[in-house]
Amino acid sequence: MTELYSNDNFKIIQKKNLFSIEFVYPNPVLCHSLVKTKILRGATILDDYKQVVFKAYSVQLFTEVANKSIYMGAAIIDCISSQLKYMANEFSVTFVGFNIENIIIIDGERFVFLDCDLINEIDDNNTIMISKPFKNSDFFVSPEMKRVTSLPSRVHYKTAYFSLGCLLLHTLLGKEIFDGFYQEYLLVENTNDILNKYLELLTCKDTKIYWLICRCLVEEPEKRSILFI
């Protein structure tokens, strides 16, 4: 038995072709979002909701993969949007945002996000409460999250959609170019010009992925959507 990865949220244990995701504390939401969506095929949740066991050929951290591609972007959309949809429909929760440190890749084609600390409840007004201090480096922040100056504050649950759009930009532009974008984006109030400048750099312009990213990065959260059409 080998411990492949470990951080404040989870660790990955491998025994031959059997892998285990072990969370720091029980998390039925994340466990079910991996198993019920069939992102992890043939997986088993242990009774304490702290562990998911599954078979795979390989498990990697997203940060370990240097060469990203449009195919990877499509896989991220398929898997992580399934996680988001399931969590919202079944548990009325969502992620506040996404970072690259807590994404793992199974068999090079299935992506899951495992940051327990970024899960928030969606209320009847479609908002989530931000009650913990955060830094812009903790996850890709939306324009409304940039404007949070006091706690607690409430933002629309589709703040996660903007963060997903940023994750896709990171995947398709590469770390160096994306880091330049993100630093510029954090410094300005009106983000449209910055977004348009970097969207022009995408080689997948006018494809389904391109338009999905554009829909995720709309300034007004209520108008954001994850549509792959």
CATH of the domain at 119: 1.10.510.10
Q: Is 170 a domain residue?
A: yes
Q: What is the mean pLDDT of residues 192-208?
A: 94
Q: Total structural domains in the chain?
A: 1
Q: What pLDDT is recorded for position 141?
A: 98
5 and 12 in contact (C-beta within 8 Å)?
yes
Instruction: Specify the amino acid at residue 162.
Output: F
Q: Is 23 a domain residue?
A: yes
34 contacts: CB under 8 Å, gap ≥ 6: 21, 40, 43, 52, 83, 112
- 173: closest CA among 126, 217, 131? 217
Q: Is 228 a domain residue?
A: no
Q: Is 42 a domain residue?
A: yes
| pTM across the whole model | 0.96
- Domain that includes residue 150, residue range: 2-223
Residue 176: φ, ψ to 5°: -65, -50
Give the model confidence (pLDDT) of 114-168 as tens digits. Answer: 999 999 999 999 999 999 999 999 999 999 999 999 999 999 999 999 999 999 9
Q: Is 229 a domain residue?
A: no
**Residue 1 binned pLDDT confidence (cut-offs 50, 70, 90):** confident
